[in-house]
Amino acid sequence: MRAHGGDDVRPGVGVRGRSRDDAPALRRAFLSLGSNLGERAAALRTARAALADLPGTTVVAASRIYETAPQDVTDQPSFLNQVVCLDTVLEPRELLAATQRIEAAAGRVRTVRFGPRTLDVDILLLEGVASDDPELTLPHPRLWQRAFVLVPLAELWQHARGMPTADVKAMAAELASSQDVSLYVAED
């Protein structure tokens, strides 16, 4: 049987004769979003929409937005932070390149490490992937040290699959007792 354009679509065979076993694997991913320059909430909203528009990607859930004090470089405005859960067929480096394009489209300029930014998109965890590559370390190397990541991640942890076994809610509560994280209330 041929589809429009002559592609083979027999049962068990995908487009162009490729076996369904060769189809890209759908992986669950958790990404953090952060912004402390410009229209912070709008930057997060735009990033969520851009992630949803990535090929083979669906936004499963998004945490509430939190306002957090900057860490490492403290002489800068407070951040808005959020975590999103995705399902994606993108390979790790493809997802990284896509997040960097989303940051660039939001006006992100990398000048000072841990400095102010219009948008920061970090891959925290990617199902079945561990990497010690300096360009893409997974799980994210500071994931378990940051309340601004763990508090929103705890809201979504019920969606975790293929992730490290961790009591994210307990870790988030412990870190939130010493790091400033509060639910964001939009100014009208």
CA angle 41, 33, 24 (to 5 degrees): 130
Q: Which two tokens stand for residue 174?
A: 């412990």
Q: 47: part of which helix (H) or strand (E)?
A: helix 40-52
Helix (H, G, I), strand (E, B) or coil at 145: helix
Q: Is the peptide bond before 139 cis (omega within 30 degrees of 0)?
A: yes
Quick check: 172 and 81 in contact, CB under 8 A? Answer: no
Active-site residue 108, yes or no?
Answer: yes
With CA atoms as reference, report the closest residue to 73 among 32, 117, 39, 40.
Answer: 117
- Report the 10 Å Cβ neighbour count for 122: 18
* From 120, 132, 146, 188, the catalytic residue: 120
* From 27, 28, 48, 122, the catalytic residue: 122
Residues 6+ apart with CB under 8 A from 43: 33, 35, 80, 106, 118, 119
Q: Find the helix packing angle between 92-105 and 40-52, rounded to 10°.
A: 140
Active-site residue 101, yes or no?
Answer: no
Active-site residue 132, yes or no?
Answer: no
* From 45, 108, 142, 180, the catalytic residue: 108
Active-site residue 117, yes or no?
Answer: yes
* From 27, 40, 48, 117, the catalytic residue: 117
Q: Catalytic residue positions?
A: 108, 117, 120, 122
